[in-house]
Chains A and B, each alone.
Chain A
Amino acid sequence: MTDKPPVLDFATDFDHTDPEWVSDPYPIWEDLRQRCPVAHTDRFGGAWFPATHAGVSAIAKDTVNFTSRDVIVHEGRPTEEDLPAPIGLAPPITSDPPFHQIARKLILPAFSPGVVNALEPQIRALCNSLLDDIITEGVVNASMNYARLIPPSVIREMLGFPAEDMDIFIRCVHVITESIDRPEEERIELFAPVEEYFRTKIEEHMENPRDDLTSFLLNAEINGEKLAVEHVFGTMVLILVAGIDTTWGAIGASLWHLAQHPDDLARLVNEPDLMPVAIEEFLRFYAPVTMARLVKADMDYLGCPMKEYDWILLGFPAANRDPVVFKDADKFIIDRAENRHVAFGLGIHRCIGSNLARLELRVAIEEFIKRYPKFELENKDDVTWAQGQIRGPRNLPLRILS
């Protein structure tokens, strides 16, 4: 990491990788909503950040003026040559209409509530086996040793990759999620062993199809033609990139909250029926995912002089804290009944994995608090947060209380 100058004013020079934003972005966003609802920065080659629900919602739903061809803000202003075709690198997340809908419909059935809900018993068993593996000296790293391990295991099972490959699989996932914003050459090199592993598994499935996500993708068709192996691999990469750090972040942040709010923890322990409503409030309050868009052409939008290929940092987490839409927006209300949060996005790119993410989050919290009905932060200052567009605690030592 190069040293960047510190941010003096987030309204005119924001940086979502700034340590202040990484550790506690909420006061920054509240301040922006009050004095400058669309912030700007010259960093990253030029970017805008709407801090209100109205701004985020308008842009998320506007595929005429904004493109998804790159959804991760990085250094340097993109040019037409750097950008993939409108189909995108990782359809459907980087695709625009009309191709987006084709790529999306292809994978939606694999993540529909009916398919996903059937996974509940196996996710519960997984959480319990992870909890069994944790040997406590009174302190549990609930992020590294629990939340982090749940999403990859669930996806490995969905893909139909063998349980004994867990370590290889986690290493692959690590390479994929950590290298996704590296320069292309570096990424190709890092990806080589991962691609080889996935290719072997895909070939095994081609010879011997079964009832899992890999065979589902191999059977899927666009215009009557089966997907190329590259497309199947690309879709798997997207599912891993989109489905792992995100859900890890949501589980971790929820446990971080409970560690500091014994009243909320006690209510969940005593009133298990509250869980579905509480999950939505965890998702609202600690929404982990911020996305990006690019401006398609010079225009005035939300009162701002936007230029072609300016970045838009699309803060669903900020929208979720907007008092115009949420009563007592800055309060965590565990039984909040009306909660139109946008943690999973809005409009055509709505998270395909939302049903799965909700299930993992609910079961992970249920099993953790069943095992450990009382816990607190071991040391507030030891907690670190992931930097970038996916937010969640990385180090989360919890002291188990009796």
Chain B
Amino acid sequence: MGGNVKVVIDADLCQGQGRCFSIAPSIFNFDDLGNGFVIGDGELSPETIDLARLAQANCPEHAIFIEESS
């Protein structure tokens, strides 16, 4: 399966629209201001990657990135 897949939120783009942590509370959480952040190191497994992609596809600010590293 090659390298690792990681999800990150670009904090400069995130405006706290709150879609990610509603859709995927196991991957994302929110801070005191309501902005999203990734729980832990953001490493995705084959089981969680689709959920992360779904959250990504619902973020109005295009603030979620899924990166493959080798």
Chain A residues engaging chain B, CB cutoff 8 angstroms: 105, 108-109, 111-114, 276, 280, 337-342, 344, 346-348, 350, 354-355, 358
Taken together as a complex, chains A and B put the C-alpha atoms of A114 and B16 apart, in Å, by: 13
- The answer on a CB contact under 8 Å between A113 and B21 is yes
How many of B's residues come within 8 Å of A, CB to CB?
A: 19
Known: A338-B57, A340-B60, A346-B61. A354 touches B17 (CB 8 A): yes
- B54 and A113 form a contact (CB under 8 A): no
Q: Are A112 and B58 in contact (CB under 8 A)?
A: no
Q: How far is the CA of A346 from the CA of B60 in the complex (A)?
A: 7
Nearest residue, chain B, Cβ from A319: B60
Closest residue of A by beta carbon distance from B57: A338
CB of B5, distance to nearest CB on chain A (Å):
19
User: Residue among B17, B21, B61, B62 with the most chain A CB within 10 A?
Assistant: B17
Q: Are B17 and A338 in contact (CB under 8 A)?
A: no
Q: Within the assembled complex, what's the spacing in Å between the Cα atoms of A333 and B31?
A: 31
Residues B60 and A114 in contact, CB atoms below 8 Å apart: no
CB-contacts of B1-22 with A (<8 A)? 15-19, 21-22
Rounded to whole Å, the gap between the CB of A166 and the closest CB of chain B is 28
**Residues of chain A within 8 A of B54, CB atoms compared:** 337-338
For B34, list chain A residues within 8 Å (CB).
108, 111-113, 355
Other than the given A109-B32, A111-B34, A280-B58, 10 more pairs (CB < 8 A) read A108-B33, A113-B34, A340-B58, A340-B60, A340-B62, A342-B60, A344-B17, A350-B15, A354-B16, A355-B34
Contact A113 to B17, CB < 8 A, known contacts A340-B59, A342-B60: no
28 contacts across the A-B interface (CB closer than 8 A): A105-B33, A108-B32, A108-B34, A109-B32, A109-B33, A111-B34, A112-B33, A112-B34, A113-B30, A114-B30, A114-B32, A338-B54, A338-B57, A338-B58, A340-B58, A340-B59, A340-B60, A341-B60, A344-B17, A346-B15, A346-B61, A347-B61, A348-B15, A350-B16, A350-B61, A354-B18, A355-B18, A358-B18
